[in-house]
Structure 1
């Protein structure tokens, strides 16, 4: 298999492009979470389920913060240059951002499924299935492919 080794500049471009791809999705979910609180159906949730929504919102805000941190870091610490430290930090933060993103999406999935299915058990199964799917795609698949390359 032929492999092209990226320059540091190419790596930096790719990691920032990847963050730009993730950020709009995170922001869209955050927007819907904000709107949901003002929807009449939100009152159908128990106090505990409303708290779950708050936790999901906070997790999404954390994911957004992790995705946006490389830009803030670069502007304040390494403006005008690209370093291995920036690329590694950015890659780590983007990879870590997927964890609260998965958790937030799955909590919201539970709440949506609970509203639609009217029962906690099936809603929990839908949320756990979503967690397994996203974790498999975002962490399992890359780990599997990394092993194949070795």
Structure 2
């Protein structure tokens, strides 16, 4: 893909930048919340009780990663509301961007662990489960990090 001609590009205002950043985080949060809900319900399933302890522990690690991800994604809104109420600064936008980007890492890892656990519960094959988890990291890491970084304007 070619970059658009300069006349089609436009700088965003700080206010628009912050609004877009908070909207991006808001779009991700419902999915994380739903996944946390499913994970907390799964422990009451009889199938979960039959999993090896190591798989149950992996599932709890994934839950912890989801909670960490949600916390990181919600931090920019809390920071904006409490630390810089009514103001928008370039520093706040950079900080918020770092929190949101960082929050995607534990989310990606939680998805990979969940893929592993679900595959183990479904077919009890650690090789297939490991391949599924690795593919999850490759696909999400590629879409969420590699693709944007290779397309980043210099």
| Bucket of the pairwise TM-score, normalised by the shorter protein | over 0.9
C-alpha deviation, 1:74, in angstroms: 1.2
Give yes or no for the alignment of 1:65 onto 2:71.
yes
Aligned to 1:141: 147
Cα deviations across residues 9-48 of structure 1 (Å, max 9, x unaligned)? Answer: 0100100010111111111111111111111110121111
Q: TM-score, normalised by structure 1?
A: 0.95
**Does 2:83 match 1:77?**
yes
- Greater share of residues in helix: 1
Is 1:124 matched up with 2:124?
A: no
User: Which residue does 1:7 correspond to in 2?
Assistant: 13
Is 1:38 matched up with 2:62? no
Is it true that 1:107 corresponds to 2:107 in the alignment? no
* Gaps in structure 2 of 5+ consecutive residues: none
- Whole-angstrom distance in 2 between the partners of 1:4 and 1:25: 31
> Which residue in 2 is equivalent to 1:50?
56
Greater than 4 Å deviation, 4+ residue runs? none
Aligned residues: 148
Which residue does the alignment assign to 1:97? Answer: 103
RMSD of aligned residue pairs (Cα, Å): 0.9
